[in-house]
Amino acid sequence: MPLRLHSLASPARFDRFARRILPWTWVLAALLIPCGLLWGLAFSPADYQQGDTVRVMYVHVPSAWMAMACYALVALLSASFLVWKHQLAGIAALAAAPVGACFTATALVTGSLWGLPTWGTWWVWDARLTSVLVLFFLYLGYIALAGSFDDRSRGLRAASILAVVGVVNLPVIKFSVDWWNTLHQPASVLRLDGPAIHASMLWPLAITAAGFAAFFAALLVVRIRSELLAWRIEALMRRRSAGAA
Amino acid sequence: MAGDGERPHLLEAANLACERGGRLLFEGLSFSLPPGAAAVVTGENGSGKSSLLRIVAGLLPATEGRVAWRGEDCRREPGRWRREMVFLGHLDAVKPALSVRENLAFWGARDEKLLEEMGLAALAGLPAAMLSAGQRRRLALARVAARPGGCWLLDEPAAHLDETSSGRLERMIGHHLAQGGIAVVAAHTARGLGDALPIRLGPGT
Amino acid sequence: MAGDGERPHLLEAANLACERGGRLLFEGLSFSLPPGAAAVVTGENGSGKSSLLRIVAGLLPATEGRVAWRGEDCRREPGRWRREMVFLGHLDAVKPALSVRENLAFWGARDEKLLEEMGLAALAGLPAAMLSAGQRRRLALARVAARPGGCWLLDEPAAHLDETSSGRLERMIGHHLAQGGIAVVAAHTARGLGDALPIRLGPGT
Amino acid sequence: MAEFLDMGGDAATVWPAYGVTIAVLTGLLVASLRTYARRRRDLERLERTGRDNR
Amino acid sequence: MTGIGALVARDLALAVRRRGEAGLTLAFFVMAAAIFPFGVGPDPLLLGSIAAGVVWVTALLASTISLDHLFRGDLEDGSLEILVLDHRPLEGVVAAKCLAHWLATGLPVVALAPLMALLLNFDMDAWWVLVLSLAIGTPALSLAGSVGASLVLGARRGGALTGLVVLPLCLPVMVFGVGAVEAALAGRPVLPHILIEAAILVAGAPLALKASAAALRIAVE
Amino acid sequence: MTGIGALVARDLALAVRRRGEAGLTLAFFVMAAAIFPFGVGPDPLLLGSIAAGVVWVTALLASTISLDHLFRGDLEDGSLEILVLDHRPLEGVVAAKCLAHWLATGLPVVALAPLMALLLNFDMDAWWVLVLSLAIGTPALSLAGSVGASLVLGARRGGALTGLVVLPLCLPVMVFGVGAVEAALAGRPVLPHILIEAAILVAGAPLALKASAAALRIAVE
Ligand code: HEM
Ligand SMILES: Nc1ncnc2c1ncn2[C@@H]1O[C@H](COP(=O)(O)OP(=O)(O)OP(=O)(O)O)[C@@H](O)[C@H]1O
Ligand SMILES: Nc1ncnc2c1ncn2[C@@H]1O[C@H](COP(=O)(O)OP(=O)(O)OP(=O)(O)O)[C@@H](O)[C@H]1O
Ligand SMILES: [Mg+2]
Ligand SMILES: [Mg+2]
């Protein structure tokens, strides 16, 4: 389906929805992130083994979660775009991907920084680390593919297919710590039998994570709007230049 | 759309519109063809002849409107729809590494008579890489000729052909129409398709 | 071969023969063209029109005979010979990833007037992948038009062109001939090249 | 305060980690907002100049 | 479904014409195998311990090399349009292409694996596991490759983009393929790895075919 | 010879024009290198010992993956005919193509080699040897590749020979390239290897250009 101009011209329902939730998400993000980070930096206890380096956790772990959740979302949106031809879903996925890539990057960098004191090196080719790197490339591939078609809507459809197929990597990342003997920590929060870390660490972690999620939601709305504008601008320009003929 | 008297129309295109590269090529285009009828699409370069053929073939989604074959929307029943649909674009779909005969076999056409009808009998064993432009076009036409009776969509079928072969093409289309097939042909002149339904597309670029 | 009265002949082909795929396409073919003259090569599919043009261009070695440009054998002095020789085959030599304007620049043609003359001005920024068949052919012709005055070898230049653009092609060739250039054009009809030297090739396949 | 800044000797790990995260996220935020604003301006300009010829 | 057999036969016939591809794959494979022992030095133990990984990685890279061919010829000579319009499902066409690709790139690797293993001083008791894991894994690589190749087909350019798109998709298969060999070397049970690998192939194949077919439809627009 | 500069500029423009291509190629390399640890395991010592091989194989992969593009596009869209007819020597055209190919595939490897070496735990005292050997070797790979790529074009039926042609051309370069690195790691003199590598490049370049040009002339006949 080529993207009809009018179907984009007034994604009115999205706009109404966005208008309603946007203030809330900004407020939530602005409250939760500083709160969680400060808590993590200043008021949570140092680890008896790792000392103060454990504070990296409060940025590392939420980033890592967001990196994976974001990919899951991109894949989900892409799938619904492909199946139900819901244009907005495809555009939303396109808008979300760079955010996910950024979270992946921060997870990688903070993890590396954390690795130096704990493992004695900032990079090992351990399965967890490498698979997150692969996730980063998957994001890059998705973004690059979407951008390398002359026709935006064809690029979006091709990239959506990639996003859906790329889901195979999520289990590899999630379970890499179980399948291999890795240096990396196995899951201690997101486990079937409940979290296994102390509440004094769980709280700031949960608050930062919630803050990141709120931030993501707010940013996503802005980026979707921006993306919609880009499509309209391009369509207009195309028509102008074609009309001038 | 209703039939033409008693004969039901095989191909019906209703209210087609096509926008490409930001330019509206055509809109509100409707036509329908009963068995044995042909349409000839003319228009300047860039007016959308090829685009129209690709829409009818189902290669390109129409911006608006629908196409029905034997009363069924082509998007719904791709299997049945496509079995009778034969498309020939600007490209010949010829495999240079295969011989002429093998090329036809590749598309499921094993009848030696086809080679003769298209004047390819003498070239049958030659690798297609060695064909001249017109000979290659004839090979592409032979693939089409192998499946008469359905819906032929031919984009400038006479490109590169000489007089003799243009005559072969006319005979081939005539034979097909006589068997109750229909044909939509894009061309720069309506020559040789005198009684075909003319479809004239808007200005080109 | 001597000149035509006082004007020295620019292009001289003497006793050319060509054998391809075991078939002798032509032999003993001689012709020569003074400045401002054109030749039109006609013949059936597979009669060797393209082969002749490729021999003159120096892409294909002749089985026999020689071609001289300004009195020099083309094989001996490839540098000088080729600077003035412009070849357009069945293929358009268009890079789909580049825009129309960039395609021309790729072949060293930066003149915006070329775009206008070939009716490509409105398409200048479009990636060539989005051109229609005739538009692409026009782009190929614009490349040729950028180098008037030498020897043009055009193989079915009017393929895929509509009426308007065929007119453009005729004007373009006329302008070139008026500047003292010469042209050898392969075509299925001699239309638009009325006073050109006719070269009719033998039977095709 | 100095003690807090020192992070138990792990300042070189903790502060860059927080710094990078905050920098990347604010960078993304700023970039997104600016592109959005730019596109709004572009569209307005486009809609103001020239009518739609269709 | 009667036509699918004909489809496969046809693509195979065409593939046989293009032995060049197999030659290139083999050349790459041999070169890679010749290069690795250099770095590792002659230590047979070390060499043996990385042999499986090297063979697997090389197989993966070798299969990526010829991916750009897979559909591009068909796109450029116009055959792809006809194939997309065929009344038989496009997935069948893709499957036939994948099979042809596997025959040209996967099969030689499987066949050569024992020799490579020997050269790299691989523990020969486990060689059949290596061969088995490759035999199951390389078709999956071809399938994943076809997804990447068809996706970049309509794009302005392939090359690095193809690789970037394909390699992440291939990873899971390789992980379990290597896992099986390592389990065999360590005396642990091999079956679970092989089963997971096979499961990925079986479950992934329809997905990959569907995805490729969809991507091809986009490419001919 | 004045026109050759323009020729190179043009081909480079075509290669560089594809925005983001360089970034894409870099990502592709790291991705390709990231495959190895999945195969051979995370042991830093082991990885360090195969690092040179990994980098070199990746370079080979990058160079071969886009080889088929080198002239085929030009042949099929008809540009090759025009290039052959250019008044400037065809060898110049080939050189320009090789340069563009190297800039797109070789240069990124050379640039990235130090980082890869670092990531793969390579002995950092020898990193400059790795870079040097790649800097001399990758152009040779591009040149050898161009011979192979142009030969297939002429071979009517797909040519089973490409791989076999490219193999003996590339192998010596790679052997001496990796050899130099090995020598550096073992504390032996590096210069002989580098000199031989350079000699292959210098002696081979004109030969490769001539051979490619001849093959291209045959291809357009
Ligand atoms: C570049 C290096 C690293 C990367 C790419 C990385 C990646 C990840 C990912 C993807 C997760 C989410 C896992 C899940 O939810 O199942 C995670 C969680 C975690 N990481 Fe890392 N990590 C890295 C380094 C480190 C280091 C050095 C440490 C500290 C020793 C560490 C400690 C943790 C902890 C404690 C969790 C939370 C696990 C849980 O409770 O589920 N990571 N990391
Ligand atoms: N892939 C594409 N993407 C965007 N626009 C396209 C694409 N292909 C063609 N167009 C545009 O659509 C218009 C119609 O193209 P089409 O090929 O249908 O013309 P045509 O009538 O067949 O012309 P010709 O006589 O030259 O074959 C052209 O202006 C062209 O620029
Ligand atoms: N590469 C080749 N190798 C061998 N034979 C060839 C080759 N190319 C063409 N031929 C043969 O040479 C003959 C002449 O081909 P040529 O292309 O010159 O014909 P033409 O007059 O241009 O025909 P058309 O009108 O179809 O373009 C044909 O019979 C063809 O089979
Ligand atoms: Mg057309
Ligand atoms: Mg011809």
* Residue of higher predicted confidence among F19 and E168: E168
> Closest Cα to atom 18, ligand 3: which residue?
C48
Residues D1-54: tens digit of each pLDDT: 566 666 666 677 888 899 999 999 999 999 999 999 999 999 998 888 765 443
Residue B1's pLDDT is 42
Cβ(F118)–Cβ(F124) under 8 Å?
yes
Q: Is the pLDDT of residue B108 over 50?
A: yes
Q: Which of B135, B169, F76, B159 is nearest to C48 (CA)?
A: B135
Residue F48's pLDDT is 82
Angle at which helices E19-40 and F162-186 pack, to 10 degrees?
10
The alpha carbon of A178 and the centre of ligand 1 are apart by a number of angstroms equal to: 13
Taking the Cβ of residue C122 and every Cβ of chain A, the question of whether any pair is shorter than 8 Å is answered with yes
Which listed ligand is nearest to A183 at the C-alpha? Answer: 1
Residues E142-186: tens digit of each pLDDT: 999 999 999 999 887 667 788 889 988 888 888 888 888 888 888
Residues A70-116: tens digit of each pLDDT: 999 999 999 999 998 888 999 999 999 999 999 999 999 999 998 88
Residue F166's pLDDT is 73
Calculate what percentage of chain C has a pLDDT beyond 70: 93
Tally Cβ neighbours within 10 Å of residue C76: 10
CA distance F104 to F108: 7
- DSSP reduced 3-state for C27: strand
Nearest chain F Cα to B129, which residue?
F156
The per-residue pLDDT of chain B, averaged, comes to 89
The alpha carbon of E188 and the centre of ligand 1 are apart by a number of angstroms equal to: 28
- The one-character DSSP state at C158 is T
Report residue A7's pLDDT band, with 50, 70 and 90 as the boundaries.
Answer: very low
Taking the Cβ of residue E109 and every Cβ of chain F, the question of whether any pair is shorter than 8 Å is answered with no
Task: Report chain D residues whose CB lies below 8 A from the CB of A37.
Answer: 18, 22
Task: Report chain E residues whose CB lies below 8 A from the CB of F57.
Answer: 31-32, 35-36, 58, 61
Q: Which of F191, F208, F89 is nearest to F140 (CA)?
A: F208
Report residue E20's pLDDT band, with 50, 70 and 90 as the boundaries.
Answer: low
CA A196 to ligand 1: nearest atom = 40
Residues A113-130: tens digit of each pLDDT: 988 888 887 777 777 888
Among A77-86, B12-21, B66-75, which is the least confidently predicted range? B66-75
Of C45, C138, C162, which has the smallest distance from its Cβ to B161's Cβ? C45
Calculate what percentage of chain B has a pLDDT beyond 90: 63
Nearest chain A Cα to E164, which residue?
A141
The alpha carbon of A127 and the centre of ligand 1 are apart by a number of angstroms equal to: 12
Task: Report chain A residues whose CB lies below 8 A from the CB of E165.
Answer: 141, 145, 162
Among C95-104, C170-179, E25-34, F184-193, which is the least confidently predicted range? E25-34
Task: Report chain A residues whose CB lies below 8 A from the CB of C135.
Answer: none
Q: Is the pLDDT of residue C4 over 60?
A: no
Residues F23-38: tens digit of each pLDDT: 777 888 888 888 888 7
Of B60, B92, B108, which has the smallest distance from its Cβ to E78's Cβ? B92
> Closest Cα to atom 2, ligand 1: which residue?
A111
Q: Which residues contact F76 (CB under 8 A, 6 or more apart)?
A: C91, E76
Among A39-53, A88-102, C118-132, E82-96, which is the least confidently predicted range? A39-53
* Residues 4-33 (B) with a CB less than 8 A from some CB of A: 19, 21-23
Nearest chain A Cα to E213, which residue?
A161
Q: What is the ipTM of this complex?
A: 0.87
The residue-averaged pLDDT of E103-127 equals 83
The alpha carbon of C75 and the centre of ligand 4 are apart by a number of angstroms equal to: 39
Number of Cβ pairs < 8 A linking chain A and chain B = 21
> Closest Cα to atom 2, ligand 2: which residue?
C130
B178: tokens are 């006589």
Cα within 13 Å of Cα(E77), Cβ side: 20
Among C146-160, E206-220, F6-20, F96-110, which is the least confidently predicted range? F6-20
Residue F125's pLDDT is 81
Q: Which residues contact E218 (CB under 8 A, 6 or more apart)?
A: A154, A157, A158, E154
Q: How many residues does chain E have?
A: 221
CB contact under 8 A, D17 and A116: no
Q: Do chains A and D touch (3 or more CB pairs under 8 A)?
A: yes
Among A45-49, B42-46, F200-204, which is the least confidently predicted range? A45-49
The alpha carbon of F76 and the centre of ligand 2 are apart by a number of angstroms equal to: 21
Q: Is the pLDDT of residue F2 over 60?
A: no
Report residue A3's pLDDT band, with 50, 70 and 90 as the boundaries.
Answer: very low
The residue-averaged pLDDT of F170-198 equals 89
Report residue E18's pLDDT band, with 50, 70 and 90 as the boundaries.
Answer: low
Residue E10's pLDDT is 74
Q: List ligand 3's pocket residues with C-beta within 6 A.
A: B 130-135, 160; C 20-21, 25, 43, 45-51, 205
Min Cα separation C160/chain B (Å): 7
Report residue F162's pLDDT band, with 50, 70 and 90 as the boundaries.
Answer: low
CB contact under 8 A, A150 and C127: yes
- The one-character DSSP state at B48 is S
F211: tokens are 């051979």
**CA A129, chain centre distance (Å):** 17
Residues C13-38: tens digit of each pLDDT: 999 999 998 889 999 999 999 999 99
CB contact under 8 A, A130 and F37: yes
Residue F159's pLDDT is 46
CA distance A153 to C84: 44
B43: tokens are 């228009």
The residue-averaged pLDDT of A122-146 equals 86
Q: One-letter amino acid identity for A59?
A: V
Task: Report chain E residues whose CB lies below 8 A from the CB of A158.
Answer: 151-152, 154-155, 215, 218
Taking the Cβ of residue A229 and every Cβ of chain B, the question of whether any pair is shorter than 8 Å is answered with no
The residue-averaged pLDDT of B39-61 equals 94
* pTM higher than the cut 0.90: no
The alpha carbon of B132 and the centre of ligand 3 are apart by a number of angstroms equal to: 4
Taking the Cβ of residue C43 and every Cβ of chain B, the question of whether any pair is shorter than 8 Å is answered with yes
Taking the Cβ of residue F156 and every Cβ of chain B, the question of whether any pair is shorter than 8 Å is answered with yes
Tally Cβ neighbours within 10 Å of residue C65: 17
Residue D30's pLDDT is 96
Backbone angles phi, psi at C190, to 5 degrees: -85, 10
Bridge partners of C39, per DSSP, are C184, C197
CA B52 to ligand 2: nearest atom = 18
Taking the Cβ of residue A198 and every Cβ of chain B, the question of whether any pair is shorter than 8 Å is answered with no
- The one-character DSSP state at A138 is H
Min Cα separation B124/chain C (Å): 11
* Residue of higher predicted confidence among D1 and F173: F173
CB contact under 8 A, A236 and D47: yes
The residue-averaged pLDDT of B149-171 equals 93
CA distance F32 to D29: 31
Answer whether A184 contacts ligand 1 (Cβ < 6 A). yes
Nearest chain A Cα to B58, which residue?
A1
DSSP collapsed to 3 states, chain C: CCCECCECCCEEEEEEEEEECCEEEEEEEEEEECCCCEEEEECCCCCCHHHHHHHHHCCCCCCEEEEEECCEECCCCHHHHHHCEEEECCCCCCCCCCEHHHHHHHCCCCCHHHHHHCCCHHHCCCEHHHCCHHHHHHHHHHHHHCCCCCEEEEECCCCCCCHHHHHHHHHHHHHHHHCCCEEEEECCCCCCCCCCEEEECCCCC
Taking the Cβ of residue F160 and every Cβ of chain B, the question of whether any pair is shorter than 8 Å is answered with no
* Residue of higher predicted confidence among B7 and A215: A215
Residue E14's pLDDT is 72
Among A1-15, B76-90, F156-170, which is the least confidently predicted range? A1-15
Residues F73-92: tens digit of each pLDDT: 888 889 999 998 888 888 98
The per-residue pLDDT of chain F, averaged, comes to 82
Residues E88-100: tens digit of each pLDDT: 888 988 998 898 8
- DSSP reduced 3-state for C198: strand
Answer whether C134 contacts ligand 2 (Cβ < 6 A). yes
CA distance C12 to C32: 4
Report residue A165's pLDDT band, with 50, 70 and 90 as the boundaries.
Answer: very high
CB contact under 8 A, A245 and C123: yes
Nearest chain F Cα to E66, which residue?
F65
Q: Which of E114, E123, E136, E129 is nearest to E189 (CA)?
A: E129
Cβ(B24)–Cβ(B201) under 8 Å?
no
Residue B115's pLDDT is 93
